[in-house]
A and B are shown apart, each in its own frame.
Chain A
Amino acid sequence: MTLSEFYSSLGESLDEVLERLRMESRVAKYLGLFLNDPSFNELKAAFAGNDAKTAFRAAHTLKGVAANLGLNKLSASSSELTEDLRPEVFTANSQALLEKVEADYVAVVAGIKQLEQ
C-alpha cells in the first residue's frame, strides 16, 4: 500500500498533509512513531481508573498528534471527547465518545501496519 492509498482508505488526503509537512518520508516516519505514542493507551487506562483529568489530557494530546498527521477523523472524535472532558469529570456521553475515538484509532493503526508491510 502506498502512502496515498493509506490516506484514501481512511477517507483522508495525503496532499493536505504534504502541504504542511513537505516530505513523504517525514509523514511516513511519524506515522510509524504514532504506533508507539502512548496517548491512546493512557486514555483507555484513565477511563478504567476513573481519572477524568488524565483522560482529558490524553484526549487533548491525541487530538493534536492526529491533526498534525492529517488523521482528521481521529482528530475530530478526539476533539469531541476533549471538550466533553474539559471540566475534568466524566459525563453521560463520555463512554460513547471514547468508543468513537477507539474505532477511529483502530482503523488508523490497522492502516499503518499494512503500510509498513
Chain B
Amino acid sequence: MDEKRPLILIVDDVAMNRALLSDVLSDKYNIIEAENGNEALLILREKTSEISLVLLDMVMPEKDGMEVLAIMNKNGWINEIPVIMISGETAHALIEGAYMLGVTDFIGRPFDEMVLKNRVSNTIRLYQKQKNLSDLVLNQIYEKTRNNSMMVTMLSHIVEFRNGESGMHVLHINTITEMLLRELLHRSNKYQINKNDIGIICTASSMHDIGKITISDEILNKPGKLTPEEFNIMKGHTVNCAQMLNAVPVGKDEPLMKYAYEICRWHHERWDGRGYPDGLKGDEIPIAAQIVSIADVYDALTSERCYKHAFTHEKALEMIHNNECGVFNPLLIECLDAIADRLVTALQTFDWSKQADKDFYDIADAMMNDQNHPIYNQAFRQLIDERKKCHFFEYSLNGILFEYTFTPSVIKLSSKASQKLGLPRTIIDEYKPNEEAKDVAENLEKIRKIIRRKSTPKDKPILIKQTFNIDGQSTPCNVKALQIWTKGSNDVPVLSAVYGHIDISKQG
C-alpha cells in the first residue's frame, strides 16, 4: 500500500523547518524536500503528476516562494498541484500576493500541528476529488468520440455492404473530404467554415449515401445499365435521405445534422446546374456537398463497382478535369490537384482508429483550452506528449516494432515492420492473410505466438530467438518483448499490452 501515500514536496531553505514539517506529516505522507526555489522547480518538472501538495516557504535564497509560484503559474502546474504557503511573514501585501498567485492556503508561523495536518489532508482530498472528476470527464469524451465515429462508420457500412461495395468507400470519402477541406481553407477564406467544422463535415460525409437504403435491391445491385425509370428512382436516394433526416426528431439545430442534410441532398448537384435533385448551380450548392461530390466521384472512379472496372488515379484525375463526370467548382479542382500526390498514400494507409484518436485530441484540446471551463489534467497532457514522442522515435528509428493491446484486441506494426513482414499496419483478430501468401501467414502466427507467450509479471523484457520470413528468406531474428501488466479484480495481475522489437541478427 506504500504507493498510495500522497507525496508532499516541502520547500524551505531552513533544515530545521523542513525537518519539523516532515516530522509532523511523515506518518501519513511521503515527503520529498527542496532547499530552495530552483531545486523545487526541478523536482516539480520531473514529478508533476506525482506530487499531491507543495508546502512552500516564502523567503528563500536562489528563487523565493513568490518566484516559484510565478513559474508554477506559467507552466500551468498551479492548476493541478495545490500549494500551501508556510511562512512567518506577516506583511499583509505579501500574503495577499501569494493568494493572487494561486496558493490554496497560507499558514503563518508559529503553526499548530493539528491545524497543519488538517489543512494538508483537506487540500489533498479536495484536489484528488477534482482530478478524479476531470479524469472521468476525459474518459467519457474519449469513449463518446470513439463510439460516435465508430457508430457512424458502422451504420454507413451497412448501407455500403448492401450495395455490394467494399466498406472502404465511406472511409475513403472521409479522408478525401478532410484533405480537400484543409486545402480549401488554406487557399481561400471565401467559405464560412472554421477549423472545428472539419471533423463534423467528415463525419457527416460518411452518411452521404444512407438514402440508398430506400432503393430496392434489384435497382441498387443491377449489373447492367439502368433504364430511365430505374435511374429516376435511383436519383431519389438524395431526396429520400433528406426526408429521413428531416423526420429525425432530435438534433435539428446541430451542425452535424445541418451538414449531413446538405451532403445527402446535394452531393449529386453539379457546378453548371446539371446535377440532381434540385439543379442547384455554383455556390448555391453548399460547400460541404460540393466537396463530398468530388470526393465521391474520385473514389467511385478509382474503385471497382458492379457496373465498371477501377480506373487509375491519373485516369480518374483526367476524367474529372475533362468534366466527364459533370462539372465541378474550379477552385475545388485546384485543391484536388494540390493534394493529388498525398492522396494516393493517404488512402492506402488509412487507419480509422487514428481518426477517432484525432477527433478526441481535438475535442479534449478544445476543452482544456476553454477559457470558461478549463479542464486541467497534467497526466493527460503528458500522455499526449508521450504519444507524440513515441511516434517521433518510432519514425526516426525506423525499427521493426509491434505492439499489442488486449482490449481491443489489436496488433499494430511500425511501417518498417509492416513492410518487412508483409502484414498490414493494424491487424484485428478476424484478419486472415491471403491464402497464397504462406510466408506472411507464418509471420503473423509467429507474432501471435510471442504475444500469447505465458510468463509471470515482471518489468524486464523477455528475449526470444525467432525466424521470420523477410524478403522471401527465412531470417533469424532476436525479439525483445515487454509485457505490461495491470491489476485486475482481486489484485490478480492481467496482461494488458505487449510491446516488441524485432532485430534481424547479423549474418555470418
Contact = CB atoms under 8 A, between A and B. Distances in A.
Contacts of B110: 20, 67-70, 75
Interface string B1-34: 0000000000001111101100100000000000
Contact of A65 (B16, B59, B60, B111): B16
A64 B17 contact: yes
Contact of B88 (A21, A22, A26, A60): A60
Nearest to B20: A30
A64 B109 contact: yes
Contacts of A92: none
A67 B88 contact: yes
Tier of interface size on chain A: 20 to 34
Contacts of B112: 19-20
B109 A67 contact: yes
Contacts of B61: 57
B87 interface: yes
Given A30-B16, A33-B16, A37-B14, A64 B113 contact: no
B81 to A, nearest CB: 23
Interface string A35-67: 011010000000000000000010011011101
A57 B59 CA distance: 7
Main secondary structure of the interface of A (DSSP, over half): helix
Contacts of A21: 113
Contacts of A68: 17, 20, 109-111
B16 A20 contact: no
Tier of interface size on chain B: 20 to 34
A7 interface: no
A41 to B, nearest CB: 13
Interface in B65-87: 87
B432 to A, nearest CB: 71
Quick one: which of B14, B60, B87 has the most chain A CB within 10 A?
B14
A60 B12 CA distance: 13
Contacts, number: 55
A68 B91 CA distance: 18
Contacts of B87: 64
A59 to B, nearest CB: 10
A64 B88 contact: yes
A19 B116 CA distance: 13
B52 to A, nearest CB: 24
Quick one: which of B13, B87, B90, B109 has the most chain A CB within 10 A?
B109
Main secondary structure of the interface of B (DSSP, over half): loop
Quick one: which of A21, A64, A69, A70 has the most chain B CB within 10 A?
A64
Contacts of B16: 30, 33-34, 36-37, 65
Contact of A20 (B90, B91, B113): B113
A79 B17 CA distance: 17
A101 B220 CA distance: 98
A61 B86 CA distance: 12
A92 B15 CA distance: 32
A60 B109 contact: no
A22 B17 contact: no
Contacts of B91: 86
Nearest to B60: A57
A86 B90 CA distance: 12
Given A20-B110, A21-B113, A60 B59 contact: yes
Contacts of A36: 16
Nearest to A18: B113
A15 to B, nearest CB: 13
A75 to B, nearest CB: 8
A86 B110 CA distance: 20
Contacts of B14: 37, 39, 61, 64-65
Interface in A85-101: 86
A18 B493 CA distance: 48
A61 to B, nearest CB: 5
A60 B61 CA distance: 12
Interface string B341-360: 00000000000000000000
Contacts of B20: 30, 68
A80 B111 CA distance: 20
A67 B61 CA distance: 21
B19 A33 contact: yes
Quick one: which of B14, B88, B89 has the most chain A CB within 10 A?
B88
B111 A63 contact: no
Nearest to B64: A57
A57 B451 CA distance: 61
Contacts of B59: 57, 60-61
Contact of B111 (A20, A34, A75): A20
A70 B13 CA distance: 20
Quick one: which of A37, A65, A69, A75 has the most chain B CB within 10 A?
A65
B35 to A, nearest CB: 13
A64 B19 CA distance: 14
Which A-B residue pairs are the 4 nearest by beta carbons?
Answer: A64-B88, A67-B110, A64-B109, A20-B112
7 contacts: A19-B112, A30-B20, A60-B88, A61-B14, A64-B14, A67-B110, A68-B109
